[in-house]
Amino acid sequence: MYTVFSTFDVPDGKADELIEIYRNRSRSVDQAPGFVDFFLLQNDKKPGELTVQLLFDAKEDYLKWVRSEEFKRIHDLEKKYPDKELAAVIPKVQQFKVVAK
């Protein structure tokens, strides 16, 4: 298993808007080979800190996803989001191999 965390520091007052965007996400990653699960996490102590967690069967599956045309299309749309503050948010990405469960 392989998991990826993308953590965003959202501008003040924008967390609920971003949560709603993810609740209505396209779900195209769900169709990617090797995809297992998606979570949107909100920090209890810092509500403006949101983390997307993706879980894949293997690192290779994740890499195929991020190199796909669909991944590029989705992320190009994010850059064109009308709220320029949210569109400018750049996540901190961390990648991990699952070594025990």
pLDDT class of 77 with cuts at 50, 70, 90: confident
Mean pLDDT of 11-25: 91
Closest to 39 measured CA to CA, from 86, 4, 87, 66: 4
Strand partners, 17: none
CA 41 to chain centre: 10
Model pLDDT for residues 22-56, shown as the tens digit of each residue: 999 889 999 999 999 999 999 999 999 999 999 99
12/86 Cα distance (integer angstroms): 10
- Identify the CATH class of 2-97: alpha beta
Where do runs of H (alpha helix) occur along the chain?
A: 15-23, 59-66, 69-79, 84-87
Domain boundaries along the sequence of the chain: 2-97
Query: Please, what is the end-to-end C-alpha distance for the chain in angstroms?
Result: 10
pTM of the predicted model over 0.85: yes
